[in-house]
Amino acid sequence: MNTARLELVSFKTCPYVQRAAIVLHEKAVPFEITYIDQTNKPDWFLRISPLGKVPLLKVDDTVLFESAAIVEYLDEVYPPQLHPADALRRAHNAPGSNSPRPFSPAQLQMLLSPDHASFDTATGAFP
């Protein structure tokens, strides 16, 4: 098991950090999270983040940035892998792939229905 010290750095309102946080929680990997002020970024952060963006993941003394790279690293290093080993199946899981949509338009309308009438109308769209 990897014993590196992990620290996730983010703004309180950064949606991209959620990708990494979800993977860390799903894999039960211990980590710390540090929130910084988006309007007053600390000097230590600006020294380690070349673009001044979050999220970034400190792995001991090494810094990773960009949520996709962080998630890919975490999935490779901490078992179990979240994506299939088969390259074709993995490609189908990739964002923007030609894999089936998780929800049909009728299902989305059902989920987002503001009232019973809208829900009933959406459920009537199913064969």
Which CATH number is 38's domain given? 3.40.30.10
Does the pTM surpass 0.95? The reply is no
The residue range of the domain holding 47 is 6-77
Condensed to tens digits (0 to 9), the pLDDT of residues 33-85 reads: 999 998 999 999 999 998 899 999 999 999 999 999 999 999 999 998 888 88
**pLDDT(93) > 80:** no
User: Does 93 reside within a domain?
Assistant: no
State yes or no: is 12 an active-site residue: no
Pair (25, 73) in one structural domain: yes
CA distances from 117 to 58, 96, 123 (A): 50, 33, 10
Residue 121 has a pLDDT of 81
pLDDT the model gives residue 63: 96
Residue 127 has pLDDT above 60, yes or no: no
Helix axes 17-26, 67-77, angle to 10 degrees: 10
- Say which of 4, 7, 14, 29 is annotated catalytic: 14
Q: Does any domain span residue 125? A: yes
Question: Is 99 a residue whose pLDDT tops 60?
Answer: no
Handedness of CA 58, 59, 65, 69 (dihedral sign): negative
Total domains in the fold of the chain: 2
In a domain, 95, yes or no: no
